[in-house]
Amino acid sequence: MAVGEAVFPQMPAIAGIRLGTARAGIKKAGRRDVLIVEVPEQARVAGVFTRNAFCAAPVHVAKRHLLHRASRYLLINTGNANAGTGAQGMQDANACCDALATLTHVASHSVLPFSTGVIGERLPVERICNSLPEALASLDDSAVAWELAGQTILTTDTRPKGATATCYVNDQKVTINGIAKGSGMIKPNMATMLAFVATDAEIETTLLETLLRDSVDRSFNCITVDSDTSTNDACMLIATGEGPSIVGHASLAAFREALDEVTGELAQAIIRDGEGATKFVTLDVQGARSRDEALDVAFTVAHSPLVKTALYASDANWGRILAAVGRAPVEDFDVERVVIDLGEVPLVEAGGRAPGYTEEAGSAVMARDEIGIRIDLGRGEAAATVWTSDLSHDYVSINADYRS
């Protein structure tokens, strides 16, 4: 189940980027489950990764290889996370990098590995390595290649997620494409489960890293399905250097806006495709003393099982929202200043139910597929937005049957 219609966009070619897929049979025979992304030699690559202490072997290897600043290939597999696999997992991740490096005549550190799927099982190295020639033979820069790549990286997702945007630098067009996967175990603490974004712009590495971190904080770090942070989260930004340089305030502002458009669209697509989701919920917190405070309030509401089940039931049980806001880690909370609106319906004012609120009006908003909740803390100028979903019977079923 997914909220809202979504059609994978017609992705333009990114000069210097080619994508190829293969069927390794990691978890299911006949399914595309291996993706190779080819990066030109002059490209700059930046990444952000999960902060989970049990981060997967490919996360360790990718971070180490990224330090060489010589990335030529991204190697992604689904069906197996290669997490919780100890020293053997590190050997297996390195073995896959070595195999691709041998076939493409590059150094092993020029390959960045990424995995997603079941935790605690050994990576099927032989199957992945045997599939590499098929993936390399299919390398292409077409819209079809981008869509196949989007399909290949899915796990419990119901549909591929892609976004594209353009901007102009000195009358030259810059293109940004991105794909992502994620549906459950969604509460990133850096990025999303897996996201790969590429642009034809030329961007210096330090600036590229800053642009990625900032954009991730405004997008992937503002979503949650179930408050679980994955062991394998990674978000990569590749600048091929085939297009115009991003230098100067005007070009930087234009590029940042286009990048935020791509990452924001991908982040919201993950929530719309959240496991068992029937509602897409936007939590706008205003009037905070800091952005972190606004995020604390938004995530406290977004993570409340009672709020999420009320959303699923279209039950205007506004007391659950009130209680969640009140237990957020905010010092010197003055509840008399707090204002909460459910859609266009005033919900809470002056410490209690807003005058004129009716159950009928609240229920009408809760019955919608897309719901907005606005919370004004009345204590400052900072604000933040978080996107989340409801909690349904299907979420339990999907995760109970995940390894079946």
| Domain map (residue ranges) of the chain | 18-267, 280-400
Q: Are 397 and 276 in contact (CB under 8 A)?
A: yes
Indicate if the alpha-carbon torsion angle 318, 337, 339, 333 is positive or negative.
negative
Helices (H), 187-302: 205-218, 249-272, 291-302
pLDDT band at 347 (very low <50, low <70, confident <90, very high): very high
Q: What gap in Å lies between CA 159 and CA 291, rounded to an integer? A: 32
Q: Which of 271, 231, 292 is nearest to 391 (CA)?
A: 271
Q: Are strands 352-353 and 280-288 parallel, antiparallel or unpaired?
A: unpaired
pLDDT of residue 174: 98
If you average pLDDT over residues 146-160, what whole number do you get?
A: 92
Q: What gap in Å lies between CA 150 and CA 67, rounded to an integer? A: 27
What's the pTM value of the predicted model, to 2 decimals?
0.92
Q: Known catalytic residue: 192?
A: yes
pLDDT of residue 400: 64
Q: Which helix (H) or strand (E) segment is 367 a member of? A: none
pLDDT of residue 242: 97
Residue 396: how many other CB atoms lie within 10 Å: 12
Catalytic residue among 192, 224, 229, 300: 192
Q: What gap in Å lies between CA 163 and CA 146, rounded to an integer? A: 10
- Four-way CATH pick for 280-400: 3.10.20.340, 3.30.530.20, 3.30.1330.10, 3.40.50.300: 3.10.20.340
Higher pLDDT, 172 or 188: 172
The 10s digit of each residue's pLDDT in 285-342 is 999 999 999 999 999 999 998 998 988 888 888 899 999 999 999 999 899 999 999 9
CATH topology of domain 18-267: L-amino peptidase D-ALA esterase/amidase (3.60.70)
Structure tokens at 233: 């989260």
What does the longest C-alpha to C-alpha distance in the chain come to? 71
